[in-house]
Structure 1
Amino acid sequence: MATAASLSASASGSAPGPASGSASASIGDSEFDRDTAVVRREPGVHDTELSAGWTIFGAVNGGYLLAVVGRALADTLPHSDPFTVSAHYLTASRPGPAVIRTDVVRDGRSLSTGQASLFQYDDEGREVERIRVLASYGDLDALPDDVRTTAEAPAIPPVEQCFGAEDAPGEGPVPGGSPIAERLFLKLDPATLGWALGQPSGKGEMRGWFGLADGRDADPLSLLLAVDALPPTAFELGLMGWVPTVELTVHIRCRPAPGPVRVSITTRNLAGGFLEEDAEVWDSAGRLVAQSRQLARALKS
């Protein structure tokens, strides 16, 4: 199969690709690429259509939204790869037309920095800013190979021992809430699934295998989605309500190898109705390819 890959010696088993038994979509020609497409209207202005297929309880997923804005910045800046992307989510986005306005803040030789805002219209026809982003882009392929790290890949059971939404009886623990689940290849570590059985562990951890359902391999833009695609750690803390993102910062460390990635998310502190989520994304070659931290509100169900 096109996206299958063997894990490095540090992995806990083999990982069959999301499109096993069928043709896999390629980067640039997949549902994710079509649904994050932007059209340049004029310099600094892009039009896009936010798809209802990437929503949770009617709100557009924050990682998908960041990928859409990230694509507009890649079309604006002289460099194409996101290195660091920081976003503030101002109002909840909804499916439908949107406009992205971008500015070049700095045009450097190895790094360029830009800012972008995505706008939609409310029911009264007034323009509303949904998300504001500041990001630095570069060339991941030009980075040196030197790696010195104490980070360790998460120990996640092989894919066949993990569970996805399709394994839940009926509509699962969150009925009708996540059209985005149909577009993801997501298999969660059973050790972080206590919430789905009504027995949350209280540890604030979520781990699993991540890919796109049509088999498209990961790239820097899809990693912006990966860090925000797993169920919130708040579920394992015993809170089952909506967890909207307030701020999200993502660091892309290198271009991911083909195959599904492993995502590990932890929360150490929930206070005053807010929690942080620290995410790591590891590729099929055992490399740390992305890191993120977000601040989110823990709303009671």
Structure 2
Amino acid sequence: MSQASQATLGSSEFDRDTAVTRREPGVYDIDLSAGWTIINAVNGGYLLAVLGRALADALPHPDPFTISAHYLTASQPGPAVVRTETVRTGRTLSTGQASLFQYDEQGAEVERIRVLASYGDLATLPDDVRTSARPPAIPPMEQCFGPEDGPAPVPGSSAIADRLMLKLDPATLGWALGAPSGKGEMRAWFGLADGRDADPLSLLLAVDALPPTAFELGLTGWVPTVELTVHIRCRPAPGPLRVAIITRNLAGGFLEEDAEVWDSADRLVAQSRQLARVRLA
């Protein structure tokens, strides 16, 4: 994609598909796009960005600092409503909650996700970093592999992949070759396929966009998220992101995924932890 054809903030498909329409104060309508699905299930990171955008409108501060979501029922493409509530407002932080609802066959509302979040202004944070964290060691992008480099996808499974620039570290691709490493690690270069640079809302997508670490543990199939908490640390610099995810413990049919997102300036811009359910054959 040439630089001239790259999407900008506000003009990207991601922006259009996460846009919410205010029906009345605290109530927003959206049509969830089928473009962000994995085998007909809407991606949890995309859904979190939808709720995050509604809260950014409802609260007096612009940026999510921390946002925790419980995924109650599986969302489907189509109409949905987001209901928000302001819990507290302060000088530097405001806290709100939001729920996304869809409709059953009788037209009754079914709650899909419930979120609690604190918002602030990332532009006001001091430039003081004291950390032992280091960016993940990922080979250059040209030495990594994307969905386009593999076999033909399962019908209905690749909609979200078409909207992402995803280049996976070969060291975490054993599962694709039938030889999973057993390490529970996934690393990749990440961006949006239309070239739009990352912002705090797209970071909510980035932490949940890679293949599940369960694949490298030798497991297959859907790994539905139960709970996901994301911390946004700063606004990302232009350019591709690096995402590293690791699972250290799988027990009782549940695993955790700890993610770090690093920008082109070698800054840790987002962290997350999620609890997910796996199907053990």
2:177 to 193, 197, 222: 197
Look up the match of 2:53. 71
Look up the match of 1:299. 279
2-side partners of 1:281 and 1:196: how far apart? 23
For the Cα contact (< 8 Å) 2:187–2:244, is it kept in 1?
A: yes
2:216 to 233, 236, 245: 236
Look up the match of 1:11. none
Size of the alignment, in residue pairs?
Answer: 281
Look up the match of 2:92. 110
How do 1:23-42 and structure 2 match up within 5 A?
23-42=5-24
Over 3 Å counting, the alpha-carbon distance change for 1:109 and 1:192 in structure 2 is: same
Q: Secondary structure at the match of 1:146?
A: coil
AA matched with 1:190:
P
Q: Any unmatched runs of 5+ in structure 2? A: none
Look up the match of 2:112. 130
Given the alignment of the two structures, is residue 149 of structure 1 paired with residue 131 of structure 2, yes or no?
yes
Q: Secondary structure at the match of 1:179?
A: coil
Over 3 Å counting, the alpha-carbon distance change for 1:178 and 1:169 in structure 2 is: closer
AA matched with 2:187:
R
Give me the TM-score of the superposition, normalised by structure 1: 0.92
Look up the match of 2:161. 181
Residue 178 of structure 1 and its aligned partner are, at CA, apart by 2.7
AA matched with 2:99:
S
Over 3 Å counting, the alpha-carbon distance change for 1:210 and 1:85 in structure 2 is: same
1:166 to 143, 148, 162: 148
Look up the match of 1:246. 226
User: Larger RCO: Structure 1 or Structure 2 (Cα < 8 Å, ≥ 6 residues apart)?
Assistant: 1
- C-alpha deviations, 1:205-260, integer Å up to 9, x for none? 00000000000000000000000000000000011110000000000000000001
Residue 21 of structure 1 and its aligned partner are, at CA, apart by 6.1
For the Cα contact (< 8 Å) 2:46–2:204, is it kept in 1?
A: yes
AA matched with 1:270:
L
Look up the match of 1:43. 25
RMSD: 1.1
1:261 to 221, 237, 241: 241
How do 1:265-284 and structure 2 match up within 5 A?
265-284=245-264
Q: Any unmatched runs of 5+ in structure 1? A: 1-18
Residue 69 of structure 1 and its aligned partner are, at CA, apart by 0.4
Residue 23 of structure 1 and its aligned partner are, at CA, apart by 1.1
AA matched with 1:90:
L
* Identical columns (%): 81
Over 3 Å counting, the alpha-carbon distance change for 1:20 and 1:154 in structure 2 is: farther
Given the alignment of the two structures, is residue 85 of structure 1 paired with residue 102 of structure 2, yes or no?
no
Question: Which deviates the most, 236-245 or 118-127?
Answer: 118-127
